[in-house]
Structure 1
Amino acid sequence: MILPSRYELSAPLTAGGMGEIYKCTDTHLNREVILKVLKKGEEARRLLDEQKALLQIRSRHVVQLYDIIEIKEDGNTNQALILEFIDGDTLTPGCQSLDNEYLKTLWQIACGLSAIHASGIIHRDIKPSNIKIDSSGNLKILDFGLSRRHGEDAATVNAIGTPIFMAPELWKKSDVSFDNSIDVYAFAITALALKKDQRIPATLTAYPPGKIEPGELNEYLKGIPSDIIGLLEDCLSHDTQKRPHISEIEKTLNRHLLHNKHRALLVANGATYELNKDSTNVNVKIASLGEISINYDGYQFIVKSQSGQVTANNRNIANGEALPHCCVLTFGTGSSRRFITFDVSNPEVMP
């Protein structure tokens, strides 16, 4: 096999339906990479087009496509992909306890899928064996061998995929059009498959899968926040329009992972007030101009009560409303107004 001089072949890893995979060294950047040689034919050309779209994706939760090259072997010229080498293990069914780390795993998968869908790609084969975790704890979605562009080539004449992860609409005998909601369905099945007991409602393991009853997943996901369970049930709907966007799932998981991790600071009358998980209430009064009481519920900073004239960023706020994470509170009107800054730290979910 003759490669461009930049790459040095290390060893073969696997051979699959779409080609062979090798470990290589990128001598320009001194890093290990994966070389995927595509077999000739129409399917390889289609896959190459799909992979080019991945050049636009910049997500730490999606395997990166670095280069598209030509190689020579036995007098023939083939196309090949240079992909990110992930030094880590593949996710396996039953590898997760139902705890915060489980939510973080689902969040990372949802982040990767959000980036994929935002780039107009349908992955089409989301499952644990197509997700690896690197040495830094980052989850990476890989294997785009079945991927399609949304709206252009999203159709099939045969049921293609991994049976238990395939959405019910893919089991039709006639020509089937699909969209990225099939990845959302597979995401929910993956969530069930990853938990330690691997218990999944029997109706979902049928070919084709049946419907689950509202609330049925409560038994299988005890201890997980109810709104997340509800979203996963919606992901499994046979009505594709009722499946949530993966970005909604990502945001909901992010919200729970940041529970009780925010801090807010206010400075008034020379005093500093801090709201956090250990100090959840504050009451600020500025002379006779106005008074406001704020509560931190672990997710947001909620106005409990107020009197006088108090606005946030020059807008009236209602009791029960969440304050913006950074705003200016104004007490009073006209020339007698007083201002207080309300600043909230913005923690991030880290793998």
Structure 2
Amino acid sequence: MEINNNREKSVLIANRYKPLDTSDRGGMGEVLYCEDLHLQRQVVLKYLQAGVEARRLLDEQKALSKLRSKHVVQLYDIVTIPKGGADHPAIVLEFIDGEVLTPGSFSADNDYLHVIWQISCGLTDIHSQGVIHRDIKPSNIKIDSEGVVKILDFGLSRNNSNAETRSIIGTPIFMAPELWGDQTIAFNSSIDVYAFGVTCLALLNITPPSRLKNHPPTQPSWARFSGYFDGIPEEITEILHRCLASDSAVRPTMVEIQTLLAKHLLLNRHRAVVVLNGKPNILDFNNRRIALKASVGSLTIDYDGLSFKVTNFAGAVYMNNTPISAGIIIPGCCVLTFGTGNSRVFVTFDVSNPEVMP
């Protein structure tokens, strides 16, 4: 991105935005840093470079007007900028005091998992509103001064309802295989999942596997891919590998990815409470097993730091009216039933929900 530090200050924009002395230029848009004199804060005004299709700014405006997410840059206002004797439409965006993500700048550790979890949160929020970003890559993601990840640049975004293209648009290494066709191409949010998988790989390694450079790309082998994630739990590596599947139907959803990452980031932080016969039983890092004994049955539950699992039972024991079995994972909130008929004993199982921060 080209930076100009010698821009002359001009008159107020929309009677409230005072241009500062810096601006940026990206692939399609120009960015003018301003001070919002009404709210005493720095903001970003974004407008298109000459010759760029006007739809790009409108698409970004439509997408951002739907989104209210901690991990997505916020749209504040819509204005016009006088330039070259004409008014140009512009959007006013949240100023993010931070740096874009850099390929190869992370190690496979907990800090890395925390960053990609935040990206997954932002994409989950984006997809929940029927929006496809279409240009997920490290340079479109920032970490602010408080460590919060923000997804930027929605100029290529689409709604799920009109997601098709007749041209190859995007950043090649991050483009899913289905985007490389020479006919009208329909696509869905799984292309963002693919780009997320490549981004996760790029943050660990600046040189991508050769298969990802093909047009269209093909999924790296498990042996090659998993080698970059040494030290990361295998089930996380597996779901990231699935992100790069050539068949879009095989790719996970961002909700699945977000949930799995959160589970591992909350290792040993869960706490379950079970009250039986008026006595509370606690399952947590310090007390990893409880044995529940009722007159009509018994149940042993273990906590392995990630989930609560049935390891033993006797008699007629049910979970939410379904017969229980050894090895089953107990969900965060359910009813356990011991016995049948009039001799039944009901017990609630409640798990606290610690939050991954920020």
Q: What is the TM-score with the length of structure 2 in the denominator?
A: 0.87
String of CA shifts for 1:68-104, please: whole Å, max 9, x gaps. Answer: 1223334422211010110111110111110111111
RMSD: 2.5
| Aligned counterparts of 1:199 and 1:221: Cα–Cα separation in 2 | 14
Cα distance, 1:209–1:326 mapped onto 2, change above 3 Å? closer
Cα distance, 1:327–1:236 mapped onto 2, change above 3 Å? closer
- Which residue identity does 1:55 align to in structure 2? S
Question: Partner of 1:137: helix, strand, or coil?
Answer: coil
Deviation of the 1:278 alpha carbon: 3.1
Question: Partner of 2:228: helix, strand, or coil?
Answer: coil
For 1:121, the equivalent position in structure 2 comes to 131
Residue 355 of structure 2 is aligned with which of 333, 348, 351? 348
| Aligned counterparts of 2:308 and 2:92: Cα–Cα separation in 1 | 47
Question: Partner of 1:299: helix, strand, or coil?
Answer: coil
> Quick check: 1:96 aligned with 2:106?
yes
For 2:93, the equivalent position in structure 1 comes to 83
List gaps (5 residues or longer) in structure 1. Answer: none
Decide whether the 8 Å contact of 2:81 with 2:90 is kept in 1: yes
Deviation of the 1:225 alpha carbon: 1.9
Decide whether the 8 Å contact of 2:56 with 2:155 is kept in 1: no
For 2:8, the equivalent position in structure 1 comes to none
Question: Partner of 1:70: helix, strand, or coil?
Answer: strand
Cα distance, 1:269–1:123 mapped onto 2, change above 3 Å? closer
List gaps (5 residues or longer) in structure 2. Answer: 1-10
Deviation of the 1:333 alpha carbon: 5.5
Question: Partner of 1:220: helix, strand, or coil?
Answer: helix
Decide whether the 8 Å contact of 1:285 with 1:291 is kept in 2: yes
- Which residue identity does 2:106 align to in structure 1? Q
For 1:291, the equivalent position in structure 2 comes to 298
Deviation of the 1:264 alpha carbon: 1.3
- Which residue identity does 2:298 align to in structure 1? E
- Which residue identity does 1:222 align to in structure 2? D
Cα distance, 1:328–1:188 mapped onto 2, change above 3 Å? closer
Decide whether the 8 Å contact of 2:79 with 2:91 is kept in 1: yes
| Aligned counterparts of 2:150 and 2:122: Cα–Cα separation in 1 | 7
- Which residue identity does 1:127 align to in structure 2? K
Deviation of the 1:283 alpha carbon: 0.7
Decide whether the 8 Å contact of 1:19 with 1:38 is kept in 2: yes
Cα distance, 1:168–1:123 mapped onto 2, change above 3 Å? same
Decide whether the 8 Å contact of 1:61 with 1:112 is kept in 2: yes
Question: Partner of 1:106: helix, strand, or coil?
Answer: helix
Residue 141 of structure 1 is aligned with which of 141, 145, 151? 151
| Aligned counterparts of 2:345 and 2:219: Cα–Cα separation in 1 | 58
Deviation of the 1:3 alpha carbon: 1.1
Deviation of the 1:301 alpha carbon: 1.6
Deviates more, 1:168-177 or 1:218-227: 168-177
> Quick check: 1:254 aligned with 2:262?
yes
Residue 233 of structure 1 is aligned with which of 234, 238, 241? 241
Aligned length: 348
Cα distance, 1:6–1:268 mapped onto 2, change above 3 Å? same
Question: Partner of 2:229: helix, strand, or coil?
Answer: coil
- Which residue identity does 1:277 align to in structure 2? F
| Aligned counterparts of 2:187 and 2:346: Cα–Cα separation in 1 | 54
String of CA shifts for 1:94-127, please: whole Å, max 9, x gaps. Answer: 1111011111111111111122222222222211
Residue 36 of structure 2 is aligned with which of 26, 35, 42? 26
Deviates more, 1:185-194 or 1:42-51: 42-51
Question: Partner of 2:53: helix, strand, or coil?
Answer: helix
Cα distance, 1:17–1:310 mapped onto 2, change above 3 Å? closer
- Which residue identity does 1:160 align to in structure 2? I
Decide whether the 8 Å contact of 1:2 with 1:72 is kept in 2: no
